[in-house]
């Protein structure tokens, strides 16, 4: 592995991503290479198997600190790293949302998947709607989601949105609205620049 990294001509300050970390051989090789040429290469290891902490991370710890006994002792290569887990998945195997992750995490995922610029993202505490995810002059993104009930995109919901007047923002030309059901006609939505997106979850339980 060290030979392969040398062949790749990685700069001494390179950041190397290994998306299938396995036993951690990439990290081991990078640390060894850093020791040999005084480099400061860093690494990101990703591993989905349940041995990520007990095998992958443990190997990296031992390589850094040193391991073995007496005549078989291996000196540590130095360095440091942090180990993180990503928590529960956003989607279940049936491709529905995993609602146990909580509303904030789901909102953050939808904002990311829609590509809403960070400067345009909003919290639930805004003057337009508690369901608003983001807003700029061209587009509003609305996530009409409730954990314990199915939601509908209808005239009643639209009447509760606040754009213009004392909010300081006029209605944008495009409004993207997530909900469980849509009761508006295609013609009405086209006329008013509304795009409906169905929330991917099992609503038969409501």
Give the pLDDT confidence of 102-159 residue by residue, as tens digits: 999 999 999 999 999 999 999 989 888 999 999 999 999 999 999 999 999 999 999 9
Confirm if 153 and 183 have CB atoms less than 8 A apart.
yes
The pLDDT of residue 100: 93
The pLDDT of residue 142: 97
The pLDDT of residue 144: 98
C-alpha 114 chain-centroid distance? 12
| pLDDT grade for 6, boundaries at 50, 70 and 90 | low
The pLDDT of residue 168: 59
| pLDDT grade for 167, boundaries at 50, 70 and 90 | low
Confirm if 33 and 6 have CB atoms less than 8 A apart.
yes
Nearest-angstrom CA–CA distance, 78 and 158 = 59
Identify which of 97, 96, 109 has the alpha carbon closest to the alpha carbon of residue 141: 109
- What letter would DSSP give residue 171? P
Q: What is the pTM of this model?
A: 0.68
């Amino acid at each position: 592995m060290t030979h392969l990294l040398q062949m790749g001509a990685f700069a001494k300050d390179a950041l190397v991503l290994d998306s299938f970390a396995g036993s951690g051989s990439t990290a081991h090789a990078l640390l060894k290479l850093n020791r040999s040429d005084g480099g400061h290469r860093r690494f990101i290891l990703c591993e989905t198997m349940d041995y990520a902490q007990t095998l992958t991370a443990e190997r990296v710890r031992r390589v850094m600190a040193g391991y073995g006994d007496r005549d078989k002792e291996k000196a540590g290569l130095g360095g440091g790293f942090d180990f993180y887990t990503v928590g529960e998945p956003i989607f279940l195997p049936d491709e529905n949302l995993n609602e146990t992750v909580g509303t904030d995490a789901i909102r953050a995922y939808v904002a990311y998947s829609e590509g809403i610029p960070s400067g345009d993202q909003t919290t639930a505490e805004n003057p337009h709607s508690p369901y608003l995810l983001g807003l700029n002059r061209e587009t509003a993104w609305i996530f009409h989601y409730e954990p314990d009930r199915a939601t509908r995109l209808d005239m009643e919901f639209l009447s509760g949105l606040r754009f213009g007047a004392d909010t300081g923002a006029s209605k944008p030309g495009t409004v993207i609205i997530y909900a469980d059901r849509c009761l508006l006609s295609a013609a009405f939505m086209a006329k008013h620049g509304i795009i409906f997106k169905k929330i991917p979850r099992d609503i038969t339980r409501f």
